[in-house]
Amino acid sequence: MNMDIIINAILQGKWFMSQHARVRAGQREISDADVIVALLQGQILEDYPEDPRGHSCLILGHTPDKRAIHVVCAQDPGGSLVIITVYQPEPPAWVDEKTRKEGE
User: What pLDDT, in 10s, does the model give residues 10-69?
Assistant: 999 999 999 999 999 999 999 999 999 999 999 999 999 998 878 999 999 999 999 999
Say what the pTM is: 0.93
- 104 pLDDT higher than 70: no
- 80 pLDDT higher than 90: yes
H/E stretch holding 60: strand 56-62
Give the number of domains in the chain. Answer: 1
Q: What range does the domain containing 56 cover?
A: 3-95
Within-domain flag for 54: yes
Within-domain flag for 104: no
Within-domain flag for 102: no
For 23, 69, 85, the CA distances from 28, given in Å and listed in that order, are: 9, 10, 11
Per-residue pLDDT at 52: 84
Four-CA torsion 17, 90, 42, 44, nearest 10 degrees: -90
Cα distance between residue 5 and residue 59, in whole Å? 13
